[in-house]
Amino acid sequence: MESPAPSSGASGSAAPVSAPAALSAWSRLGTALEEFWIALFAWVPTPLGLALRLLAWRWLFAACGSARFGTGLTLAGCRNMRLGNGVRLGRGCFVTAGGGSLVLGDNVAVSPCAHLGADGGRIEIGAHTAIGPGTVIRAANHRFERQDLPIMRQGHQPGEVFIEDDVWIGANCVITPDVRIGRGAVVGAGAVVTRNVAPFSIVAGVPAKEIGRRG
């Protein structure tokens, strides 16, 4: 009885790893190292902690000026973020840009526990903008067209959020994808912004509507 013909690679040499697989492995390793490095300094208190975080983290970003990082931050995809001078990320903020891009202009102030999610999309926030605590800004939405597949498995629809200079966004607001908030606008606390906001206007409510003008 003849023995079966040897399969390719039977000489004992391992099959070569494909380039996409190797890149994926390096990407996962890079993500793990980034997460470890951020966690290492995330909870150091006092001004010493502020100084350590800036020194230790600034090289993770595509660009980073004289930023101020509060304690307990969650950061992911830093290589896709650009932070200007004087940027402040408050305690407990959740800021991600995996597969997307995030730009914070000079002197942007993000209050504690805000969520900036640029994963798979794009968020740009202009200079001297203030974002209230608990606010959520997301550049992508879940797809939900199919009824035969759980929403969690349908992926995301990428989008963009542009917030121009000198905007004030109150506490616990939600800014949905594909929205532009014009220069000098004010968004009242708890508002859900689903469409563009004109410059120097004041909006509030769910969904947000114009209730006044500045000046």
Q: Which residues are catalytic?
A: 142
Hey, what long-range contacts does 188-193 have (CB within 8 A, 24 or more apart)?
Answer: 189/132
Q: How far is CA 84 from the centre of its chain?
A: 15
Q: And the tokens for 6? A: 């040897």
Q: And the tokens for 131? A: 């974002």
d(CA 174, CA 191): 6
d(CA 213, CA 210): 8
45 cis-preceded (ω within 30 degrees of 0): no
| CB-based contact 85:105 (threshold 8 Å) | no
68 closest CA partner among 82, 81, 49: 49
